[in-house]
Amino acid sequence: MTLLLIAVIMISVMSGLLGSMLIYKYGGHLSLTDVPSERSSHSTPTPRGGGIGIWVALLVVGFFILKDVPFTLVAGVVGLLGLVEDRFTLTSHFRLVIQFIVSSLAVLMVVLFSDTPLTTSLVLFPLWVLFVVGTTNFYNFMDGINGIAGLTGIVGFGLVAFFSFFIADNVTIAFMSIALSCACLGFLPLNFPRAKVFMGDVGSILLGFMFAVFVVRLSTDLRVFFCLIMFLFTFYADALMTIFYRWRKGENLMEAHRSHLYQYLCNALGFPHWKVSIVYMSTQFMIGILAILAYKRGFNWQIILFIISGVSFPIIYTFVKNKILT
């Protein structure tokens, strides 16, 4: 087990690093370049698709070490979709259709291989699919400043790995999560604190999708579900608050924007990208640890944590927006 763990860590870190180096050097020649627009948080053209190493790490670990072929194949399709998006820029409607198809397939596979009521209920099937698609896009939305997606990936999947190994006794998901966390670590040197390469959809869409699928696979009851979603709380909260405010203003939710809290902090208030990313990572780590402790104490403690966190973020979001307006 120890040798297997070392192999997964080394393969994943090196894959994440080599993938970002490859795109940094050849991304321009492959037309994998992010050209800044008025809604961007960066000002210079930067190679994108650096998350390809994260995708490769998952494929290598899934196929050749864990031999979890069905789910690794599905993950491979999601990563490929992200890479195609990085290169050709697909329409949002086409992306959603493909995401719903792949997510439905992933949830169906969980249903077929699971015997727990929370995952096998036909009533919950469409909700699980919507959860996977939503999480996939939320992670993608949040990949907008240097380091935020990579740092959160390290923490989020690290927490999933801990829960899977020590609480859920699911070695496969534990090692897959370790692979994703370590691949994010390998990717970071060329993305943080200054970005020489962006993760791109090949990384962010894959990370969001895999996180959601892990939640579906591990959720034997509501207590587990509530614990796991707190491992990505900062991304869920920021994305949902942004969607709510934009919906209230009557904006087109499919259009690009700069309305996330992290964007306000960087673009309007002038905080450096790396500081905001560190704050998000630190907050996520703290909430994740509290989520595990609350899980061990009981469902009432989980609800208390969920309410406190759920109320705190809108207050902070509103405070920052009002500060900008004044």
How many CB atoms neighbour CB 179 within 10 A? Answer: 29
E strands, the chain, are: 33-34, 46-47
Report which of 195, 203, 246 is spatially closest to residue 54, judged by C-alpha positions: 203
Torsion-angle region of 197 (φ positive above 0: left; ψ -120 to 50: alpha; else: beta): beta
Tens-place pLDDT, residues 171-221: 999 999 999 999 999 999 999 999 999 999 999 999 999 999 999 999 999
Tens-place pLDDT, residues 128-182: 999 999 999 999 999 999 999 999 999 999 999 999 999 999 999 999 999 999 9
Q: From CA 69, how far away is CA 61, in angstroms rounded?
A: 10
Q: From CA 100, how far away is CA 278, in angstroms rounded?
A: 32
Antiparallel, parallel or unpaired: β 33-34 and 46-47: antiparallel
Question: Could you state, in order of their start, the residue ranges of all structural domains in the chain?
Answer: 2-230
Inter-CA distances, 15 with 190, 245, 275, Å: 13, 39, 26
Residues sharing a CB contact under 8 Å with residue 68, sequence separation 6 or more, in sequence order:
62, 172, 176
Tens-place pLDDT, residues 249-280: 888 777 778 889 999 999 889 999 999 999 99
